Structure 1
Amino acid sequence: MSLDAPDAPADIRRLAVIDMGSNSFRLVVFHHVPGHWFRLVDEIREPVRLSEGVRNGRLRRRALARAHRAAELYAAYCRSAGIDVVDAVATSAVRDAENQDEAVEAISAGGVLPVRVLSEDEEAHYGFLGAVNATTITDGWFLDIGGGSLQVGDVRDRELVRSMSRPLGAVRLTEAFLSGDQQSSGEVKRLRAHVRDALGEVKWIAPRGGRLVGVGGAIRTLAVMHQRRENHPLFDPQGYLLTRAHIGELLRDLLASPAPKRDSLPGLKTDRADIILAAALAVDEVLHATGADGVEVCAHGLREGVMYEHYVPGDAQLITDVRRTSVINAAERFGYMKAHSEHVARLALAAFDATAALELHPADPGDRELLWAAAILHDVGVLVDYSSHQRHSGYLVLNSGLPGFDHRELAIVSLLVRGHRKGMPSPGPYAPLLRRGDEDALAVCAAVLRLAEQLDRSRAGEVRGVRCAVRDGALVVGLECDGDPTLALWSAEREQDAVQRAFGLRLELEAV
C-alpha cells in the first residue's frame, strides 16, 4: 500500500487502540483517513502492573482492581472524545491467567469495553506489523519484550515466517530472579541462564546474524537511556541502533546503581526503574542467540499493528514502500501544497540527474532519495507561519520523525528543508551523525532544491523541465517552459551562491 492515492475522502475516523499489557495499559488515539494518512493525537498510559505478584497462575485482586480503574477511565475517555472505533487487546498476563474470566471482567470495565485476548501468534503478528511498516527490514529478526512475555520472530522477505513466545517479560523475570535493592552476580547469572535455555529450546534461533528490529517500551527506554548517556543530538528512539557494546554499557550503569536509585539515571522513568535491568539482560541474551550486532529500535509496535488493520485496505496490511509512505503521510498531516511540492521534487531530481550526468557529483541514489523527501516536505512549515517557514519546516521534519529513515537521514532531510530558502544551515549539533562526504552532498542537494523552488515561484508549473551543461566556467541551466519564463529566470538568478558553493561554477539561465 502507498499513500499516493488521489482525492482522499474528507471523513476522518477516530480510532482508539488500548494495549492492556502486563506492565502498563496504554490508550492511543489515531485520526486517520484509510489508505491516505494517519496521525497519533492522544495517549494515556497507566502503570497497572497487571502481572505483579502472580501466584499459582492467578492474577491478584489488587492488580485486577488497578486494571478495572484504568479500564473505566479509558471507557469514559472514549465516550467523551467521540471515538468511532475502540479496539482493546490484552496480551500475555491475561492470556496465561488461571482466572482469565475474572481478568476479562476487570479489564473490560464490567463488559463496557470490548476486549480481545490475543493468542501468542496474534500478539506476534500485530507487533511485527507495527515494526515492518515503520522500518525497511526485509530479512532478519524481530524482538518484542513486554512485561509478561518475550517474542522472537524470523523475518524473511518482509514476512514473519515463524515466531516464539515465552514468559520472559521484564516484570516476570524481575520477580523470579532479581530480589532486593542490589542484584548479586549469582542472580544475574541465573536470569541469563534461564533466558538462554529458553531460547536454546527453539531450534531455528541460531547465531546467523542479520538485522534485528526491537519493539516495546523496555527497548525504547534502553534507547533513550543510551541517547542521554552519550548526549545524542536526537532524543528519538525510532531508528536508533543499540549495539551489543551499548547494551553492555547500560548494564554496567544499571548494575552499579541500587534499584531504588535507578530512576535517577537519565532517560529512565520511575515506573520502569525496577524492571529495566531484567529487560536489558534478556535483550543481551537475544543478541547472543541470534548473532545480531545490535537492536534497531522501532517506536511502532503492537498498538500500531492493530491500527494498521483498520488503516490499510486489503488483507496484507503491508505498506509497499515504507520510506515513501512515511514522507507522504507527514506531508498530508501538515497540509502540504501537493501540486507545488511534487513539481519542485520533479525539477530538483531532474537537475540532480543532469548534473550527475556531467560528473559534477557522485549521483548517490541515497542522496537522491533524501533530496526527494526534502522537496516534498520543504514548505510544510507554512502550517505554522509563512515567515521563516523554512525553519518551521526543519523543526517539523526533525520532531515528527520519518519512520524508515535513520537519524543521519532525518538530520539531512531537516537540514535541506531548512536551507531551501536562505543560506545553508551548518550541521551544528547534528555533525556527529554525518558521514564523510555528507556535507558535500548537502551542498549539491541544497543547490538543486533551491533552484527548483525558485523555478516554480509562481506555483503555476510554467517550467516543465530543465537541461544542464557546463560552458566557459558556468553551469548553464536551460528552462523548458510552457509559459512566460520571466519570473522563473529572475527568481532562479538569486541562487548564484548556492550553485557556486556546490559545483564551483557560476550559474547561467536560459529559456529553451
Structure 2
Amino acid sequence: MQEKFAIIDIGSNTMRLVIYCNEKSGRLKEIENIKTMARLRNYLDDRQYLDNTGMDILISTLKSFEEVTKYYDIQSINAVATATIRHARNQHEILENIRTSTNINVKILSEFEEAYYGFLAVINSTSISEGITVDVGGGSTEVTYFHDRKLMYYHSLPFGALSLRKQFMEGPVPTTDELLQLTTYLHEQINTIDWIKDMRGVPIIGIGGSARNIVQIDQRRKMYPLGGLHQYEMSTNELTAVKESLISLPFEKLKCVEGLSEDRADIIIPALEVFNVFFQITNASSFILSRKGLRDGVVYEELLKPFGIKMFPNVLEESLYELEYDYEINIDNVVQVSRIAISILNSLQKFGFLSITDHELTEAKRAALLFQLGRYIDDEASSQHTFYLLANRTIDGLMHSERLRIAAIASFKSKTNLKNYLEPFADWISKEDFVVIRILGAVLRFAYALNETKRNIVEQLEMTDRQEDLMVIIMCSNNWQAEQYHAEKQKKQLEKVLKRNIILHFTKV
C-alpha cells in the first residue's frame, strides 16, 4: 500500500474524506477526517434523478476533498458511492460530471459490496464470531448475518434514515401516529428478509453515524466512565430508554441532547427505531456498536490483499502487537514473566488459594504483555498511566468490560490503588472479581521482580505450603542479587491477598 492514501465515501446522508498513514508497525493511522452533510438523498426527484442542486453539492464537495488530498500529496484515492448514486437513474451523467470536474474515479458499490464491506470492517475490528450487522445509511439499510466470522447472508433494505424521515414525518420530530406508522412499516420490511427470524439471540452490530450517536447519547446519560465508542454494548432496555428520552422532546430541545450531533437531530428517531425493530424481531442478545464501517472495510481489503487474506486471523493479537510496537515492549521479558507468573498461579491453585479459569489465565498473559506500560510515559507514575491508557484506549477485539479488567491487572500496585481505580466501576466488578484481579496483579508484580535485570535467570520455581507460610524455591542460572532484592520488596502484596507469609529461597541450578 501507499504510505498515505485516501478514502472518499459518497453516502446518501454524508460525504466523507478520510486520509490514512500506513505506519511501520503495519497500523493504519487516521490523519484527516472531513465530513460534509450533503444529504444527496434529498435531491433525488420523483423520477429518481439527482437534480442540479444535488449535482452541484456533489461536485463542489468532491473538489474541496481533492484540494485536501493535493495538500497531503496523496497519490492513491479510493472513492466509493452508495445507495443514492446507485439508485439514481442519471448515474452515468453523474459519473461523467465527476470525471470532467475532478481527477477522482468513483466506484458505485452494489448492494452486496456495501453490505460486505460493513461485515469486513466488523470482523477485522472485533472478536465477535456471530452476529447481525445493521448499517443504517441515508437511503438504504444493509444487513448481514455472519457465523464463525464467515458471511452467511446479506440483504439490502430500501430505506435509510433520510428516506424514512421524508416518507413518514411532516416535521423534524415524529408525532405519535407517524411513529406508529413508521414502526409498522419497519416490521413489514424487515420481516421480508427470509432468514432473519431464524437468527435469534445473537447480537445486533450497529454501523454508521446514527448508531454512533445512539451510543454517545447513552454514554452521556449514564456519565459513562470509560473512553471509546467502539464495541460499546447496550441491552434492549437501554436502547428503549434512549428512545423514550428522545421521542417526547420538541425539536429545539432534541438538538441540544448531549451526545447527539445537531445535524442528525431530525433523523435520529427513525434510525433508532430501525435498530429497535431489529432487536424485537430477532430477540437480540445485545446491541454492539462497531465504529468501523464501510470505509474501513474497503481499507482492510486493500491492507490485507498482499497477504492473500480477507481478515486478520486474530483481531486482538493484532491490537496487542500495535501496543507492543507503540510502547516498545520487551517481548523476551514478557515471555519470561508470563512463564514465571503461570507457574506461580498453577501452584497457588494446587494448594487451594484460588480457583482460576482458563479465561483468567489468558487475561493474566495479556496483562503480562501490558504490565506497567505506563513507564513509557513516566516511571514514577507508571501505575496511573497504565490504568488510564488501557482503560481509555480502544483495543480492537476487547469489549469494554474486558478492557477494564486488563487495565486493572496490568496497573496493579496495591489494594488501595486498585480500589481507587475501580471506584467508578462499582457495578462492573463483583467482590469475587476484585479478589481475582488483585491476585493476578500481585502475581505479575512479583513475577516482574523475578526478572528485574531482564536476563531471564530464573529457570524454575517450586512452591511448598508449610501451613504457617509458603516456601518458594527459586532456581537461577546466574547471580540473583537484584532479583532477590526486588522480589523481597514486591512479595508483600501477594502475602496480603493470600494471608500467608512467603519465604523466598534462591539457589543455583
Specify if TM > 0.5: yes
1:397 to 390, 396, 415: 390
Give 1:60-75 correspondences, 5 Å limit: 60-75=51-66
Pair 211,165 (structure 1): closer, same or farther in 2 beyond 3 Å: same
1:116 to 107, 118, 121: 107
1:160 to 151, 162, 185: 151
Pair 315,206 (structure 1): closer, same or farther in 2 beyond 3 Å: farther
What is aligned with 2:443? 448
1:38/1:329 contact within 8 Å kept: no
* Shift of residue 170, structure 1, vs aligned partner: 0.9
2:227/2:392 contact within 8 Å kept: no
* Shift of residue 464, structure 1, vs aligned partner: 4.3
What is aligned with 1:438? 433
Give 1:161-200 correspondences, 5 Å limit: 161-200=152-191
Residue segments in structure 2 that go unaligned for 5+ positions in a row: none
Give 1:112-511 correspondences, 5 Å limit: 112-206=103-197, 208-312=200-304, 313-420=306-413, 424-426=417-419, 427-511=422-506
SS at match of 1:433: coil
Pair 14,464 (structure 1): closer, same or farther in 2 beyond 3 Å: farther
Kindly provide the amino acid, as one letter, of the partner of residue 501 in structure 2. Answer: R
Kindly provide the amino acid, as one letter, of the partner of residue 202 in structure 2. Answer: G
* Shift of residue 440, structure 1, vs aligned partner: 0.6
Distance (whole Å) between structure 2 residues aligned to residue 307 and residue 73 of structure 1: 22
TM-score, normalising length: structure 2: 0.91
1:20/1:90 contact within 8 Å kept: yes
Distance (whole Å) between structure 2 residues aligned to residue 90 and residue 355 of structure 1: 58
2:82/2:114 contact within 8 Å kept: yes
The farther-off stretch of 347-356 and 317-326 is 347-356
2:125/2:292 contact within 8 Å kept: yes
Residue segments in structure 1 that go unaligned for 5+ positions in a row: 1-10
What is aligned with 2:80? 89
* Shift of residue 128, structure 1, vs aligned partner: 0.5
1:421/1:450 contact within 8 Å kept: no
Pair 358,111 (structure 1): closer, same or farther in 2 beyond 3 Å: farther
Distance (whole Å) between structure 2 residues aligned to residue 114 and residue 508 of structure 1: 71
TM-score, normalising length: structure 1: 0.91
Per-residue CA distance 1:111-142 (angstroms, 9 max, x = gap):
42232221111111111111112222222322
* Shift of residue 160, structure 1, vs aligned partner: 1.0
Pair 464,36 (structure 1): closer, same or farther in 2 beyond 3 Å: farther
Kindly provide the amino acid, as one letter, of the partner of residue 296 in structure 2. Answer: E
* Shift of residue 180, structure 1, vs aligned partner: 0.8
1:331/1:380 contact within 8 Å kept: no
**1:32 paired to 2:26:** no
**1:52 paired to 2:42:** yes
Distance (whole Å) between structure 2 residues aligned to residue 493 and residue 369 of structure 1: 27
The farther-off stretch of 67-76 and 88-97 is 67-76
Kindly provide the amino acid, as one letter, of the partner of residue 433 in structure 1. Answer: W
Distance (whole Å) between structure 1 residues aligned to residue 52 and residue 372 of structure 2: 54
2:231/2:398 contact within 8 Å kept: yes
SS at match of 2:494: helix
* Shift of residue 105, structure 1, vs aligned partner: 5.0
Distance (whole Å) between structure 2 residues aligned to residue 63 and residue 255 of structure 1: 30
Distance (whole Å) between structure 1 residues aligned to residue 346 and residue 5 of structure 2: 43
* Shift of residue 173, structure 1, vs aligned partner: 0.9
1:420/1:453 contact within 8 Å kept: no
Per-residue CA distance 1:222-245 (angstroms, 9 max, x = gap):
111111112221242222222221
Per-residue CA distance 1:453-502 (angstroms, 9 max, x = gap):
21221122222443433224333333342321111111111123310232
